[in-house]
C-alpha cells in the first residue's frame, strides 16, 4: 500500500499531479464552508485554490461537517489535503488541493465552528448542505417550523445543530461592523434569496435583534453551481491512488466540466474566484433555470427510469436504446421548450454538451445517488416547468411520464431486473403512504399523491393532466417501462 497523502508526503505525489504553488503554512482563514461533501471539495474549493494561487492567502477554508464524522475523520490525518481527478475517457487531469486549511465536525467542535463564523476575518460562508438541509417546505419554500432541527435550535439557539441554527448563532456573535456574505451553492431556484428568507424566518423566531443584525450586515447572492461529482467508491479510490502515487481516502474522481455563476452582490470582500473561471453577473436566475431544468431535471428522469429498469449508472441509461432516446427527448423537446436562455447563450449547444457529459463512460455516477431526496428535487426540477406548461394548455409527454415513473418508483419496491430499490429520502414515506392507501386505482392514487401539498403545492392540477398521469401510472403498473414508453 502507498504512503498516505499529508503535508509531509505530498511532495512524493506523481509529478504529473499539480500541487498548490503557495505556502500553505501562511494560509489564513477567510472562508467557512458548511457541508464538506465531495461536491464542495471538487467545485468551490477549486475556484478558491485558483484565487489562492494568485498569492492572496487570506482565503483558506474552514470546512465543516454538520453531521457525519466520516469526512473530518478522513481529512484530519491528511492535514486537510485531498486530490481531485478530472476524467473523461483517456483524458485525466489531477491536482492536490490545499485550499481547505482545516476541518471541523460541528456536533463535537461546535464552539470552533461558531467562533469561526463570528470571526470578522471570515467574510464569506459558502453552503452545500443539500436541499433538505434548509428545513423548508419544498413546494412553498417557507420554513418548516415542525422540522426536528428547527425545533431543537429554537429551544437551544446557542447550541444549534441545523444549518440555520448554526448560521444564526455564528452571526449573532459577529461584531455589527463586520459585513458577511452567505453564499448558497445548492441546487435550488433563487437559492440565495431562499436561504435569506428561511434564515430571517428562523432568526425572527429566536429574537428580533438577530433578524435585524442579519438584515443589516449579511448579503445572500444567488449562485448557479455545476459539476458532476459521483460519490467515491473503493474502485475510484484505488484508481486515484494509482494516479496520485499516494493513498488519499478523500480522493475525488469527477468530470472535467465545471461552472459557477454568481451574483455580484457581496457584503464585504471575496476571493478572486474569477481566476478559476467563475462568472460574476447581475442576475443569475436565467442560468439557474437553464441548469436546474435541463441538467438536473433530465438527471432526475435518468435516475428514476434507470432505477426502475435496474441500471446502475447514468451512462448505462444513456446507452439503453429506449431509455436513452426517452431522456434525450425529455431534455431537448419538453424541458428545452420551457427555458429562456441568458443573453448570447446557445441552448442547443448547451444540450449537446449535457448529453455528452451524461454519456461519459468513465464516470461511475450512480442512478441511486441522483434518485436520493426526490421529494426535495422534483418540486424544483420538474414541477415549475410542468405548471407553466399546463397553464398554457401544453402537454409535456416525456416529463409527465417521468413524473409517473417517480411515483411508481416510490412504492414498487423492486426494479424490473429484481433489485430491491433503496429509497433514500426522508420526505418519501409520507408520499408513498398516500400512494399505497389509494393503490387500487391509478386515478385515485394520482389524485391523492398530487394532494400532498408539501411536494406538489396547494394549487389544483388540471383534470386533463390528472387523467394523463393516471394513464401513465396504470401503464407502468400493468406493463412496466416498456408500456409507459410505448403509450
Ligand atoms: C444531481 C446533481 O445528484 C443529483 O441530484 O442531479 O448533483 C448534479 O450532478 C449536479 O448538480 C451537477 O452540477
Rounded to the nearest angstrom, the distance between the alpha carbon of 313 and the centre of ligand 1 is 14
Rounded to the nearest angstrom, the distance between the alpha carbon of 187 and the centre of ligand 1 is 8
Rounded CA-CA distance 401/330 in Å is 9
Rounded to the nearest angstrom, the distance between the alpha carbon of 260 and the centre of ligand 1 is 14
| Residue having the nearest C-alpha atom to atom 6 of ligand 1 | 296
DSSP H or E run through 317: helix 314-319
Kindly give the number of the ligand 1 atom that is closest to the alpha carbon of 365: 9
- Position 293 scores a pLDDT of 98
Kindly give the number of the ligand 1 atom that is closest to the alpha carbon of 226: 13
Cβ(377)–Cβ(424) below 8 Å: no
- Position 91 scores a pLDDT of 87
Rounded to the nearest angstrom, the distance between the alpha carbon of 372 and the centre of ligand 1 is 10
Q: Which of 296, 365, 378 to mutate to test the pocket of ligand 1 (most atoms within 8 A of CB)?
A: 296
Rounded to the nearest angstrom, the distance between the alpha carbon of 215 and the centre of ligand 1 is 31
- Position 343 scores a pLDDT of 82
Where are the extended beta strands (E) located within 330-411? Answer: none
Rounded to the nearest angstrom, the distance between the alpha carbon of 474 and the centre of ligand 1 is 30
Kindly give the number of the ligand 1 atom that is closest to the alpha carbon of 299: 6
Rounded to the nearest angstrom, the distance between the alpha carbon of 207 and the centre of ligand 1 is 36
- In the chain, what are the domains? 10-281 (3.40.50.720), 285-486 (1.10.1040.10)
SS (H, E, C) 321-332: HHHHHHHHHHHH
Rounded to the nearest angstrom, the distance between the alpha carbon of 10 and the centre of ligand 1 is 30
- Position 78 scores a pLDDT of 98
Rounded to the nearest angstrom, the distance between the alpha carbon of 319 and the centre of ligand 1 is 19
Kindly give the number of the ligand 1 atom that is closest to the alpha carbon of 377: 5
Cβ(428)–Cβ(371) below 8 Å: no
C-alpha cell recorded at residue 40: 464542495
Handedness of CA 449, 453, 456, 458 (dihedral sign): positive
| Residue having the nearest C-alpha atom to atom 1 of ligand 1 | 370
Cβ(98)–Cβ(85) below 8 Å: no
Rounded to the nearest angstrom, the distance between the alpha carbon of 433 and the centre of ligand 1 is 27
Cβ(299) to ligand 1 under 6 A? yes
Rounded CA-CA distance 411/293 in Å is 25
- DSSP letter at 342? P
| Residue having the nearest C-alpha atom to atom 11 of ligand 1 | 226
| Residue having the nearest C-alpha atom to atom 4 of ligand 1 | 370
Q: Which residues pair with 226 in a beta bridge?
A: 259
Cβ(415) to ligand 1 under 6 A? no
Rounded to the nearest angstrom, the distance between the alpha carbon of 73 and the centre of ligand 1 is 25
Rounded to the nearest angstrom, the distance between the alpha carbon of 355 and the centre of ligand 1 is 14
Q: Which of 254, 298, 370 to mutate to test the pocket of ligand 1 (most atoms within 8 A of CB)?
A: 370
pTM over 0.85, yes/no: yes
Rounded CA-CA distance 308/125 in Å is 39
Rounded CA-CA distance 409/326 in Å is 17
Q: 319 to each of 75, 95, 245, how far by Cα in Å? A: 36, 31, 33
Q: 55 to each of 49, 80, 275, how far by Cα in Å? A: 10, 20, 12
Cβ(292) to ligand 1 under 6 A? no
Cβ(367) to ligand 1 under 6 A? no
Identify the burial level of 15 via C-beta atoms within 10 angstroms of its C-beta, where 0-12 means exposed, 13-18 middle and 19 or more buried: exposed
Cβ(476) to ligand 1 under 6 A? no
Q: What is the mean pLDDT of each run of 10 residues along the chain (487 residues)?
A: 93 95 97 98 98 98 98 98 94 96 98 98 98 91 95 98 98 97 97 98 96 97 98 96 97 98 98 98 94 98 98 98 98 96 89 97 96 97 98 98 98 97 97 86 95 95 98 97 92
Cβ(75)–Cβ(104) below 8 Å: no
Closest CA to 386 of 434, 455, 309: 455
| Residue having the nearest C-alpha atom to atom 5 of ligand 1 | 370
Q: Which residues pair with 93 in a beta bridge?
A: 86
Cβ(259) to ligand 1 under 6 A? no
Cβ(227) to ligand 1 under 6 A? yes
The angle that helices 298-309 and 463-486 make with each other, rounded to 10 degrees, is 50
Rounded to the nearest angstrom, the distance between the alpha carbon of 124 and the centre of ligand 1 is 23
- Position 1 scores a pLDDT of 77
Rounded CA-CA distance 95/20 in Å is 8
Rounded CA-CA distance 415/476 in Å is 12
Cβ(296) to ligand 1 under 6 A? yes
- Position 155 scores a pLDDT of 98
Amino acid at each position: 500500500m502507498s504512503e498516505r497523502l499529508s503535508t509531509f508526503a505530498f511532495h512524493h505525489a506523481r509529478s504529473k499531479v499539480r500541487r498548490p504553488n503557495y505556502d500553505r503554512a501562511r494560509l489564513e482563514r477567510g472562508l467557512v464552508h458548511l457541508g464538506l461533501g465531495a461536491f464542495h471539495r471538487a467545485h468551490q474549493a477549486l475556484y478558491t485554490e485558483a484565487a489562492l494561487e494568485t498569492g492572496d492567502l487570506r482565503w483558506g477554508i474552514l470546512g465543516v461537517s454538520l453531521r457525519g464524522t466520516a469526512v473530518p475523520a478522513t481529512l484530519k490525518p491528511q492535514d486537510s489535503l485531498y486530490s481531485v481527478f478530472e476524467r473523461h475517457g483517456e483524458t485525466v487531469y489531477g491536482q492536490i488541493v490545499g485550499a481547505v486549511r482545516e476541518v471541523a465536525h460541528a456536533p463535537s467542535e461546535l464552539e470552533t465552528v461558531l467562533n469561526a463564523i463570528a470571526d470578522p476575518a471570515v467574510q464569506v460562508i459558502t453552503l452545500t448542505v443539500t436541499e433538505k438541509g434548509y428545513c423548508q417546505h419544498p413546494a412553498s419554500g417557507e420554513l418548516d417550523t415542525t422540522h426536528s432541527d428547527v425545533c431543537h435550535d429554537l429551544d437551544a439557539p446557542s447550541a444549534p445543530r441545523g444549518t440555520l441554527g448554526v448560521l444564526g448563532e455564528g452571526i449573532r456573535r459577529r461584531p455589527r461592523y463586520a459585513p458577511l456574505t452567505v453564499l448558497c451553492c445548492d441546487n435550488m431556484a433563487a437559492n440565495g434569496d431562499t436561504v435569506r428568507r428561511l434564515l430571517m424566518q428562523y432568526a425572527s423566531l429566536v429574537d428580533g435583534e438577530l433578524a435585524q443584525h442579519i438584515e443589516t450586515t449579511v448579503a445572500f447572492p444567488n449562485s448557479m453551481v455545476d459539476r458532476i461529482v459521483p460519490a467515491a467508491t473503493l474502485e475510484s479510490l484505488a484508481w486515484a491512488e494509482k494516479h496520485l502515487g499516494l493513498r488519499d481516502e478523500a480522493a475525488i474522481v469527477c468530470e472535467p466540466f465545471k461552472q459557477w455563476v454568481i451574483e455580484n452582490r457581496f457584503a464585504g470582500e471575496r476571493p478572486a474566484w474569477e481566476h478559476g473561471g467563475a462568472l460574476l453577473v447581475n442576475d443569475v436566475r436565467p442560468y439557474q433555470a437553464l441548469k436546474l431544468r435541463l441538467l438536473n431535471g433530465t438527471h432526475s428522469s435518468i435516475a428514476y427510469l434507470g432505477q426502475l429498469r435496474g441500471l446502475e449508472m447514468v451512462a448505462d441509461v444513456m446507452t439503453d436504446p429506449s431509455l436513452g432516446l426517452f431522456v434525450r427527448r425529455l431534455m431537448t423537446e419538453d424541458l428545452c421548450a420551457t427555458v429562456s436562455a441568458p443573453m448570447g447563450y446557445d441552448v442547443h449547444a448547451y444540450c449537446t454538451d449535457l448529453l455528452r457529459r451524461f454519456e461519459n463512460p468513465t464516470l461511475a455516477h450512480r442512478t441511486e445517488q441522483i434518485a436520493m431526496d426526490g421529494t426535495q428535487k422534483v418540486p424544483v426540477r420538474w414541477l415549475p416547468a410542468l405548471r407553466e406548461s399546463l397553464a398554457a394548455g401544453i402537454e409535456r409527454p416525456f416529463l409527465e411520464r417521468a413524473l409517473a415513473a417517480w411515483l411508481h418508483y416510490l412504492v414498487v419496491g423492486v426494479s424490473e431486473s429484481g433489485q430491491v430499490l433503496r429509497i433514500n429520502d426522508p420526505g418519501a414515506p409520507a408520499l408513498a403512504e398516500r400512494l399505497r392507501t389509494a393503490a387500487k386505482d391509478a386515478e385515485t392514487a394520482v389524485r391523492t399523491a398530487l394532494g400532498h401539498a408539501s411536494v406538489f403545492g396547494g394549487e389544483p392540477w388540471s383534470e386533463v393532466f390528472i387523467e394523463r398521469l393516471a394513464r401513465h401510472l396504470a401503464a407502468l403498473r400493468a406493463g412496466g417501462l416498456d408500456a409507459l414508453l410505448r403509450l
